[in-house]
Structures are given as C-alpha cells and as structure tokens.
Amino acid sequence: MRVRHRAPRGVVVAEIDDGRLREVNCGWQPSNLNFTAPFPIRPHHPITDIAVQVSKDIAEEYQVRSG
C-alpha cells in the first residue's frame, strides 16, 4: 500500500512500534502547514461541535505523544 501523506510521528508511534506502519526515510519533508479559521455569518451546523472535539482530542494526543 502506498501512502501519499505523512502523519506526525507522535500520532502514529504505536502503529510504527507494533509493525502496522513502516517509516521510510525519503529525505524530503513537507513544509509546515498554516491553518486559518473562518467565521461564517450563518449559524454553525451541529456536526461542527463534533468535528471540533475530535480535532482537539487528536491535537492533545499528539502533544502527549510528542512530548
């Protein structure tokens, strides 16, 4: 299976350690991503709260794993 993106190592360290994922040193690293947050005029959709919580959970897990 070919992977077309790179997950931060801290997020996938367990999968690497147990052999489900393999690290390949290709010598290239993507530049840092910049994110923006728009503020729409319309009320938000209820799924937004779920997406925000999932994003926060992933970010917190990444912080814990990456030290």
Q: Is residue 9 part of a domain?
A: yes
Confirm whether pTM is higher than 0.95. Answer: no
Amino acid at 8: P
CA 51 vs CA 20, 27, 41, 55: distances in Å: 26, 33, 19, 6
Q: Is residue 35 part of a domain?
A: no
Q: Residue 64: which of 14, 4, 5 has the closest Cα?
A: 14
Query: What contacts 16, CB < 8 A, 6 or more positions away?
Result: 9, 22, 23
Q: Is residue 18 part of a domain?
A: yes
What are the backbone dihedrals phi and psi of residue 48, each rounded to the nearest 5 degrees, phi first? Answer: -60, -45
Q: Model confidence over 29-49: pLDDT tens digits?
A: 778 888 888 777 777 788 988
Q: Is residue 60 part of a domain?
A: yes
The tally of domains found in the chain comes to 1
Q: Model confidence over 1-31: pLDDT tens digits?
A: 454 556 777 888 888 899 988 877 777 777 8
